[in-house]
Amino acid sequence: VLKLQAAIKYDEEDLSWVKCLVDQCPSDDPDTEINLGCLLFKEKRYEEACVKFIGAMRMVGYKADLSYNIALCHYMLKQYAPALYHITDITERGIQEHPELNVGVTTEGIVVRSVGNSQTLHETALVEAFNLKAAVEYQLKNYNAAVEALTDLPPRSEVELDAVTLHNQALMNMENSPTQGFTKLQFLLQQNSFPPETFGNLLLLYVKYENHDLAADVLAENVHLTHKYLTL
């Protein structure tokens, strides 16, 4: 019950309550370590969060989602080499254990059916890992590698894509398909939840492409997002 309450409060961003509830959980429970790691991550204490996730993985053994959490902490700390190490581990395990997910076939130009959003795909953390790889390569200005990381994803139809994949596709293909990119970012902004970078990136890209009136319209229509995502 405490874990469920903590999860609910975490989604509501009531971090003080989360800390209070997690502190009541057994200290030798790996879920306690994971929850503390998530709490620290939310507080932008990435080094401490990483320690918690590593500790949890020592307790339970390899888990793709934990390895991803560790990689994400390294990414937030701009430690791209260790981030890529964990990403590679996730993707290689996923490819070896689940060849039916067709990783990389789109990059090779092979047209295959969607693998859907199965429980298996979720458990491998392949979607998260390839998106994070794309983000790392983008930060390193390896733009072709960033695009390739996205095409390496297990094939899904556009309606099956998650918000992070849509955001990254829009951002990393903007040079070649700006109209499509803007459409995807605008679509995401209309959803109940979207990657926090979406709002700022849409505005920056409007300015970059000299669509200043559209940028002004987005700001005027989303004052609440300005306060949430554009203030320090």
Cα-Cα-Cα-Cα torsion 18, 21, 26, 32, nearest 10 degrees, comes to -10
Q: Tens digits of per-residue pLDDT, 164-193? A: 999 999 999 999 999 999 999 999 999 989
24 and 76 in a single domain? The answer is no
Q: What percent of the chain has pLDDT over 90?
A: 75
Angle between helix 126-139 and helix 163-172 axes, rounded to 10 deg: 30
141 and 221 in a single domain? The answer is yes
8 and 104 in a single domain? The answer is no
98 and 151 in a single domain? The answer is yes
- What is the mean predicted confidence (pLDDT) over 45-71? 96
- The mean of the pLDDT values for the chain is 90
- Calpha distance 33→55 (Å, rounded): 7
List the structure tokens of 105: 């076939």
Closest CA to 89 of 58, 64, 106: 64
Q: Tens digits of per-residue pLDDT, 74-133? A: 999 999 999 999 999 999 999 999 999 999 999 889 888 999 999 999 999 999 999 999
85 and 133 in a single domain? The answer is yes
**pTM for this one?**
0.88
Domain encompassing residue 94: 64-229
Which of 43, 61, 79 is at the close of a domain? 61
Number of domains in the chain: 2
| CATH code: domain of residue 127 | 1.25.40
